[in-house]
């Protein structure tokens, strides 16, 4: 009896017995994924992850609406708002582990919101050139080496150098160490401005550091020693430039008060009023704000002035704490001039990093 061979039946979309992929093999993975998504199970998995992703996106999107009256929670959220993006990969890992389609889709909201808020800060926005280099640094009252800090700052090549938190003990050291590089300077209380260009009309700015019923009873000498803001006019080749130096009040996190920002917020409002009244259209504000420009309390300043870091920096430019910076609380804001570049200088013996910028007319 003759033997008959039965030909192997093959799928036209695969490679048959040869092991080679057929023309439809490349679509097999996506087709399986589509079929999996059509099933209800992936959409039912991970409801907690999906809700968490939506809440994360809502917090970032509506951060300005978070109440600030109880424990300053709104300002606290806005201070560390960029870091909320770190929750995205954590939630994504959980969504992939749970194979939750709903959680993956829900993550599109926080990703979109974060990129809308901070995506523009990821690249280098600096441009070459500039007419003036300005530097600001909270030098720390307890700085163990003020002379070394002064040398480092002078080596930056700054035309204008603003210092905050100058102690009475270290004031003479800064003045002596910076005298050769900066023939003009003014120090008022705990803030000072050193310049390669002539200064005039230097005066303290009242940012309501002394506040309350006993403020008026404090001797004038004591109020002067505790002054935390000044204004001066710098004579440039392009005309007068108004320069403000400010050190706003500290913030505290305590179990009783939460994120306490009372003095800082009062200082910020008074400083915004002083800037609003400034007649010189060209203005530079340098200082330690003890807060980020995302914080709603600085709206009076950021609505009138531009952040050089946001306009011409590279990355976020975090400055505090110096050993592991997590927030940019040291600012350079301008109006009437063009930011060309902005950067953070190497650490000194302070707990803040110095900030620098190049500006042009």
Q: In this predicted structure, what is the pLDDT of residue 17?
A: 47
Burial class of residue 128, CB neighbours in 10 A (0-12, 13-18, 19+): exposed
For residue 11, the SS3 value is coil
pLDDT higher than threshold 50 for residue 1: no
- Cβ proximity of 257 and 250 under 8 Å: no
How many Cβ atoms are within 10 Å of 306's Cβ, its own excluded? 18
- Cβ proximity of 186 and 232 under 8 Å: yes
- Among 8-17, 295-304, 343-352, the range scoring the smallest mean pLDDT is 8-17
Confidence of residue 41 (pLDDT cuts 50, 70, 90): confident
pTM of the model: 0.86
Q: In this predicted structure, what is the pLDDT of residue 69?
A: 83
pLDDT higher than threshold 80 for residue 135: yes
Q: In this predicted structure, what is the pLDDT of residue 44?
A: 85
Tokens encoding 315 = 């990355």
Q: In this predicted structure, what is the pLDDT of residue 43?
A: 84
Phi, psi for 221 (deg, rounded to 5): -65, -40
pLDDT higher than threshold 60 for residue 103: yes
């Amino acid at each position: 009896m003759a033997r008959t061979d039965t030909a192997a039946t093959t799928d036209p979309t695969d490679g048959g017995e040869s092991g080679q992929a057929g023309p439809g093999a490349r679509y097999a993975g996506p087709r399986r994924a589509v079929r999996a998504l059509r099933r209800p199970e992936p959409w039912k998995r991970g409801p907690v992850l999906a809700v968490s992703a939506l809440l994360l996106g809502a917090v970032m999107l509506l951060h300005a609406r978070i109440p600030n009256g109880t424990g300053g929670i709104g300002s606290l959220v806005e201070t560390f708002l960029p870091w909320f993006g770190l929750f995205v990969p954590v939630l994504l890992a959980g969504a992939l582990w749970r194979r939750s389609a709903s959680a993956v889709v829900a993550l599109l909201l926080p990703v979109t919101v974060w990129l809308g808020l901070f995506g523009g800060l990821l690249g280098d926005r600096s441009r070459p050139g500039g007419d003036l280099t300005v530097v600001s640094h909270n030098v720390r009252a307890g700085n163990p080496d003020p002379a070394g800090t002064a040398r480092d700052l002078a080596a930056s090549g700054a035309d204008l150098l603003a210092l905050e938190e100058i102690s009475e003990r270290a004031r003479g050291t800064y003045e002596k160490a910076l005298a050769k590089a900066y023939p003009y300077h003014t120090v008022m209380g705990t803030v000072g401005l050193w310049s390669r260009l002539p200064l005039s009309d230097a005066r303290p700015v009242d940012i309501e550091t002394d506040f309350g019923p006993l403020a008026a009873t404090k001797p004038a000498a004591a109020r002067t020693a505790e002054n935390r803001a000044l204004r001066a006019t710098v004579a440039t080749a392009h005309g007068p430039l108004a320069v403000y130096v400010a050190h706003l009040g500290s913030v505290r996190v305590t179990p009783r008060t939460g994120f306490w920002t009372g003095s800082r917020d009062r200082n910020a409002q008074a400083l915004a009023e002083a800037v609003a009244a400034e007649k010189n259209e060209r203005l530079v504000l340098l200082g330690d704000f003890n807060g980020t420009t995302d914080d709603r309390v600085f709206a009076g300043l950021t609505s009138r002035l531009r952040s050089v870091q946001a306009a011409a920096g590279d990355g976020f430019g975090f400055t505090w704490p110096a050993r592991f910076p997590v927030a940019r609380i040291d600012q350079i804001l301008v109006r009437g001039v063009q930011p060309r570049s902005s950067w953070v200088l190497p650490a000194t013996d302070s707990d803040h990093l110095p900030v620098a910028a190049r500006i042009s007319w």
